[in-house]
Structure 1
Amino acid sequence: MTTLLKFLKAKLEDLRQDRSIRYDLIKDIVEYLHEYADKHHHPCEDIIYSYYLEHRKDEKVADGVHKLAEQHIKISALTEHLCDMTEMILMDAVVPQQQYIDALDEFLEIQTNHLNYEEDHILPALREELTDADWQAIIALLPYDGIDDVDSLKELARKSDPLFGDNVQERYQSLRENLGA
């Protein structure tokens, strides 16, 4: 996700400098984030967070977990809005450039803050507090068959990711090449 956000930040700067960009790549990134992160990654995180709130619940961490869950909802809405705007541009509809810049800027700010907060505060706390038994219980709650430990969950994520996984979907080939991944 960090790679995608860096790429989008560079495109935002290009827009601010009135340089031309490839909106099709922006669309691919936003659709990927909407399809993969909003519909697969974030729901799994929400299951982990719900389990934590029900079974562990350090108040400071709990407040952060609630904050992240609320952000998932906002991020999903912003992603959808940015996707719609990008699609309109690709269909040659008139979208004021400053309006698009503002939407992309807000999207990037919220995504970046969310990711940094999660990585710097919440995930380390969960790694420290959740036991192997907790992770086994969480894995049983996830909507995947054949997953019996954290390593197999990581392997599933690696294999099934349509952009960064083992089998890049055809629709993301150009994006992957442009990302240098």
Structure 2
Amino acid sequence: MQRLIKRLIEDHKHLSRVLSCLQREMYGFSGGEDPPDMGVILDAMDYIQNYPEAFHHPLEDRIYEQMASHISDPELLEMLERIKIQHSQLKELTRRLQNDFHAVANDQILPVDRLLTDFRAYDELLVEHMACENEHLIPAIEQYLGPAELEQITAELETRPDPMFGGQLLAQYEDLYNYLVESERAA
């Protein structure tokens, strides 16, 4: 149980770290001194698309789906529905941002205002989404899921470690990880 909850909270912390990295790089598009590092941005977007979309959000969706049958509180049920909608919105915004950044990296003309607007929308939604889950839904897991349900879900954690923070760093994220560590030391 605790391992599952710890994993969800850690995933959110790691996503926040990557989001902070993107925020620093976005400053370069809005008049910052240093130009944005497109390699870092593309790696961050790849991580954000691949890990959360392939594992983290489906895991949450599965947890919340199993919880829903045990919940009678209409506000909590409404939050579960909002989280599912946000997962879809985040997927779409991630795809759009990734396309935006690939266009910029390939020297295609893209209005900076559009890029900044897309990023702000993504940033605001992700921050709101994680805060809602951390504050309301993750604490409800223990209340609404039984040991057998939790054990089955927890067993899945081992099959999908985080490719950047899961103990074994995948080579494709090595530069991004080093950037995160360096920038956090400097701050």
Q: Residue in 1 aligned with 2:131?
A: 116
5+ long unaligned stretches in structure 2: 1-14, 183-187
Q: Which of 60, 64, 69 is the aligned partner of 1:49?
A: 64
Q: Residue in 2 aligned with 1:31?
A: 46
Deviation at 1:13, TM superposition (A): 2.9
Is 1:5–1:112's contact at 8 Å kept on the other side of the alignment?
no
Q: Deviations over 1:64-93 (max 9, x none)?
A: 110000000000000000001111111111
More deviation, 48-57/66-75: 48-57
Question: Cα RMSD (Å) of the superposition?
Answer: 1.8
Q: Residue in 2 aligned with 1:143?
A: none
Amino acid at match of 1:165: G
CA distance in 1, matches of 2:109, 2:179: 26
Q: Residue in 1 aligned with 2:179?
A: 178
**Does residue 99 in structure 1 map to residue 87 in structure 2?**
no
Alignment length (residue pairs): 167
Deviation at 1:115, TM superposition (A): 0.7
TM-score of the pair, normalised by structure 1: 0.84
Q: How does 1:139-154 map to 2 (within 5 A)?
A: 139=153, 150=154, 152-154=155-157
More deviation, 78-87/14-23: 14-23
CA distance in 1, matches of 2:109, 2:156: 44
Deviation at 1:32, TM superposition (A): 0.9
Is 2:43–2:176's contact at 8 Å kept on the other side of the alignment?
yes
Deviation at 1:95, TM superposition (A): 1.2
Q: Residue in 2 aligned with 1:147?
A: none
Q: Deviations over 1:5-29 (max 9, x none)?
A: 1112222233223431101211111
CA distance in 2, matches of 1:57, 1:38: 29
* 3-state secondary structure, aligned to 1:93: coil
Deviation at 1:156, TM superposition (A): 4.6
CA distance in 1, matches of 2:103, 2:85: 28
Is 2:66–2:145's contact at 8 Å kept on the other side of the alignment?
no
CA distance in 2, matches of 1:60, 1:97: 39
5+ long unaligned stretches in structure 1: 140-149
TM-score of the pair, normalised by structure 2: 0.81
Is 1:27–1:87's contact at 8 Å kept on the other side of the alignment?
yes
Q: Which of 7, 24, 27 is the aligned partner of 1:13?
A: 27
Q: Residue in 1 aligned with 2:10?
A: none
Amino acid at match of 1:89: V
**Does residue 65 in structure 1 map to residue 80 in structure 2?**
yes
Is 2:70–2:144's contact at 8 Å kept on the other side of the alignment?
no
Q: Residue in 2 aligned with 1:133?
A: 148
Deviation at 1:57, TM superposition (A): 4.1
CA distance in 2, matches of 1:120, 1:17: 35
